[in-house]
Structure 1
Amino acid sequence: MSPTLTLVLDLVMVGLLAATIAYAIILNRQIIKLRESRGEMAELVRGLNEAMSRAETGVRSLKKTAHETGDDLQRTVAKAQTLRDELEFMIEAADAMANRLGNVGGERPKPGPAARPAARPGLSARPPVASRPAVAPRPIVEDDLGHDDHDLHDHGHDDHDLHDHGHIDHDDHDDLPPLRSAAFRNEPLRADPSRAESLARRPTTAPDPILREGESLSRAERELLQAIENAGKGVG
């Protein structure tokens, strides 16, 4: 071999070695940097692991929530179907009831004019109270025994009516108390001092006529009847 070729080969080998040394230096620097960033890489790996664990937990909770929600929805749907069936039954029953009521209302006859009740013969024959002549009040004049003229006049009128109509016979006078029999026999009544004092103290007021069996009775007539009844009770 010639020395020139040998020199060229040596120069080429030196260039390749120089390039290899430079590349090794670069790789060494990168390895140093990688060693320095190992802690950061470990922290990054731990963060990734935690994120994966959280993701798995979230997925499990989501699955559980979805399952519970599906069960709740299923129960709600079942209740809704039950309510729907009940509402349909109630609607059908209401329609049937409305149809029945409509049929009953259509078949019911319309009420005619109500007939007025017939008047009683006794009431129709009696004249109204407003058409009867009003009895004028009479002044009360007391005698020495404490009886007023109304009492005496009414007593005579009652005794006269009883004798004229024949409601009470003369034989029945013996069974009555003395005061009643005296009134029926048209005998003078004995004065009662307490009765005379009460009549004298009582203020004179206008008679208050009332209706009893179609007759107009004044206060004097009522007092006379009350006195006769009280005397009969006292004697009895």
Structure 2
Amino acid sequence: MTGFEYTLQCAVLVLLVVAIPFTIRLERGLSGLRRDRGAMDGSARGLGEAATAAEATLRRMRITTDEGLRQISERCLAGEKLRDDLRYLIERADSLADRLDGLVRQVRPIVAEPVVPIRAEAAAPPEAPARSQAERDLIRALKLAR
């Protein structure tokens, strides 16, 4: 072998010696990646399970929301019926109050007339028309109000 070949082989040998720590370091990094790959696969499986659980939860939430909306709409319909009934009753009460007010105004002039005392020697009083209890109560209330 010539000097040139020896020099060339020594250079290759030096380069190989220098490359050995780099290869050891690279091999350690690759073995770490292989170890972490198992953990990564496990976490990917865990992520898939979490996604499946989240989808199931969303389905249950949608069902619950639909049920709640159905119940709310039923109660709104019942409330609207009650509102209409109350409106009708209020209108009837207003008309009855107006009629009662008219009757009270008719009775006031009769009650407001001065009472003439009856003499003891006068004959029996003329027969009063039969009145209902409500009329008697109304007249008594009007007398007390004066």
Tell me the TM-score normalised to structure 1 length: 0.41
Residue of structure 2 in register with 1:40 after alignment:
39
Distance apart, 1:60 and its partner CA: 0.6
Q: Using the alignment, how far apart are the partners of 1:60 and 1:98 within structure 2?
A: 56
Residue deviations 1:173-217 (CA, integer Å, cap 9, x gap):
xxxxxxxxxxxxxxxxxxxxxxxxxxxxxxxxxxxxxxxxxxxxx
Q: What RMSD, in angstroms, separates the aligned Cα atoms of the two structures?
A: 3.0
Paired letter, 2:48: N
1:1-236 correspondence runs (5 A): 7=7, 13-14=12-13, 16-108=15-107, 109-111=109-111, 113=115, 116=118, 118=122
Residue deviations 1:14-64 (CA, integer Å, cap 9, x gap):
554444433221221123233344543343233222211111111111111
| Count of equivalent residues | 116
Residue of structure 2 in register with 1:208 after alignment:
none
SS at match of 1:40: helix
SS at match of 1:110: helix
Paired letter, 2:110: K
Tell me the TM-score normalised to structure 2 length: 0.61
| Paired-residue identity, % | 31
Summarize the Cα distance change of 1:102–1:15 in structure 2 as closer, same or farther, 3 Å threshold.
farther
Paired letter, 1:60: R
Q: Using the alignment, how far apart are the partners of 1:10 and 1:41 within structure 2?
A: 44
Distance apart, 1:115 and its partner CA: 7.0
Q: Using the alignment, how far apart are the partners of 2:97 and 2:89 within structure 1?
A: 12
Q: Using the alignment, how far apart are the partners of 1:17 and 1:114 within structure 2?
A: 144
Q: Using the alignment, how far apart are the partners of 1:83 and 1:50 within structure 2?
A: 49
Distance apart, 1:70 and its partner CA: 1.2
More contact order relative to length (CA 8 Å, sep ≥ 6) = 2
Structure 1 residue runs without a partner (length 5+): 121-236
SS at match of 1:26: helix
Paired letter, 1:66: T
Distance apart, 1:95 and its partner CA: 0.6
Q: Using the alignment, how far apart are the partners of 1:78 and 1:63 within structure 2?
A: 23
Distance apart, 1:12 and its partner CA: 5.9
Residue deviations 1:57-102 (CA, integer Å, cap 9, x gap):
1111111111111111111111111111111111111111100100
Q: Using the alignment, how far apart are the partners of 2:103 and 2:57 within structure 1?
A: 67
Summarize the Cα distance change of 1:74–1:114 in structure 2 as closer, same or farther, 3 Å threshold.
farther
Q: Using the alignment, how far apart are the partners of 1:40 and 1:98 within structure 2?
A: 83
Residue deviations 1:137-167 (CA, integer Å, cap 9, x gap):
xxxxxxxxxxxxxxxxxxxxxxxxxxxxxxx
